[in-house]
Structure 1
Amino acid sequence: MSVDENGKIVDAKFKTFGCGSAIASSSLATEWINGKTIDHAANIKNDQIAKELCLPPVKLHCSSMFSCF
């Protein structure tokens, strides 16, 4: 992740060897945080990602990887 001089995230990336739900969750998270501040990104919760992607209960853990941020 790269942050500019104003504290905005300018290049968020992810790397995973997980399932489609893990890839989709990580991809959505990077889309959401690019152009935002770290404080804004830190306030995104995994349940928001799960809801946006309509993840079933058995795949909720895939959205929690972003919570480690």
Structure 2
Amino acid sequence: MILVEGFKHEEIAKIVLFRDGAGHRPEELVIDRHVIAVASDVSLNLDVALLDINDVGGLADFVVEWMQNQDG
């Protein structure tokens, strides 16, 4: 696993980060078939997993579980 910033249009699995008050609206989120979750500090109505951006343990657990379910 490699953590990077950017690459929102690349065809790789990703977790999108969204913070309220950071200058963007939820409608601007790019949620494509490669987004496995969104980590946020606000409730969002999405078709992917919503993670608490402030819960580091929960984020880590999600990533570990996701990686264990991947082929190869």
Please confirm whether the aligned pair reaches a TM-score higher than 0.5, indicating the same fold.
Answer: no
Q: TM-score normalised to the size of structure 2?
A: 0.29
Structure with more helix by fraction:
1
The structure showing larger relative contact order (alpha-carbon pairs under 8 Å, at least 6 residues apart) is 1
Structure with more strand by fraction:
2
Q: TM-score normalised to the size of structure 1?
A: 0.30
